[in-house]
Amino acid sequence: MNTLGIDALDTLINQLSKLPGIGHKTAQRLALFILKSEPAYSEALAGAIIKLKQETRLCTRCFNIAESELCSICRSPQRDNHTLCVVEDIVDVMAIESSNEYKGLYHVLGGVISPLAGIMQNDLHMKELFERVEKEPIKEILLALNPSTEGEATMLYISRQLKESPVRITRIASGVPIGSHLEYVDAATIGRAILSRQDL
């Protein structure tokens, strides 16, 4: 696509079009918006991106986003450390937190088992999950993976691995439509799905 041969513009369009959901046309529009904006805006935008990478990392316990070794949820004495909610991604922690119905801890797998995409249990934070079940005073594992084929298979794998463990295994209830992603489900629906969870 013709971008007038201006290298700085092409570079920005190229970088923006790598973002999820951003095609070339949208990248062009965003780049032109930044071009026309006040210098203070582009500096703040660039600074925010650098700050995010410099000042955050993954929680060493649950793999949620953190500003120090442990995330704010793991550090909070208010959270119930007997319940562990297993999710696919950090965006699911955000979705569940916005429902205000869950007070336990999390474990972010970093994906789901998907043989077609070449993702097996060893590519996920699965070993760390089973270690936590052994070491921490966990009484319930709440599986809150997206109800896709891969999500279902991953929930089945976890429940089989923990078959001999005394821990109670539940999954979020209906209300979350099959095939939908938690991040797109409204907070009230997620809240209801957590409250009416079912034993596996």
Among 16, 27, 71, 145, binds Zn ion (CB under 5 A): 71
Kindly tell me which of 59 and 142 has the beta carbon lying closer to Zn ion: 59
User: At its nearest, how many Å lie between Zn ion and the CB of residue 200?
Assistant: 24
3-class secondary-structure state, position 104: strand
Among 12, 31, 59, 112, binds Zn ion (CB under 5 A): 59
Q: Is 190 in the site for Zn ion (CB under 5 A)?
A: no
Kindly tell me which of 59 and 96 has the beta carbon lying closer to Zn ion: 59
Q: Is 138 in the site for Zn ion (CB under 5 A)?
A: no
Q: Is 58 in the site for Zn ion (CB under 5 A)?
A: no
Residue 88: both structure tokens together: 């696919």
Kindly tell me which of 73 and 112 has the beta carbon lying closer to Zn ion: 73
Kindly tell me which of 105 and 145 has the beta carbon lying closer to Zn ion: 105
Q: Is 62 in the site for Zn ion (CB under 5 A)?
A: yes
Q: Which one of 33-41, 55-63, 90-98, 111-119 is the stretch in contact with Zn ion (CB under 5 A)?
A: 55-63
Q: Which one of 22-30, 38-46, 67-75, 179-187 is the stretch in contact with Zn ion (CB under 5 A)?
A: 67-75
User: At its nearest, how many Å lie between Zn ion and the CB of residue 95?
Assistant: 16
Q: Which long-range contacts (CB under 8 A, 24 or more apart) does 149-158 make?
A: 150/112, 150/113, 150/114, 151/88, 151/112, 153/112, 153/113, 154/109, 154/112, 154/113, 155/200, 157/113, 157/121, 158/86, 158/126, 158/129
Helices of type H across the chain:
7-16, 24-36, 39-55, 72-75, 90-99, 126-135, 149-161, 187-195
Kindly tell me which of 43 and 136 has the beta carbon lying closer to Zn ion: 136
Q: Is 93 in the site for Zn ion (CB under 5 A)?
A: no
Kindly tell me which of 32 and 130 has the beta carbon lying closer to Zn ion: 130
Instruction: Say how far apart CA 70 and CA 64 lie, in whole Å.
Output: 9
Q: Given the structure tokens 């999950």, which residue do they identify? A: 129
Instruction: Say how far apart CA 26 and CA 35 lie, in whole Å.
Output: 14
Q: Which residues contact 10 (CB under 8 A, 6 or more apart)?
A: 3
Question: Which residues of this protein are in contact with Zn ion, per CB under 5 A?
Answer: 59, 61-62, 64, 71, 74
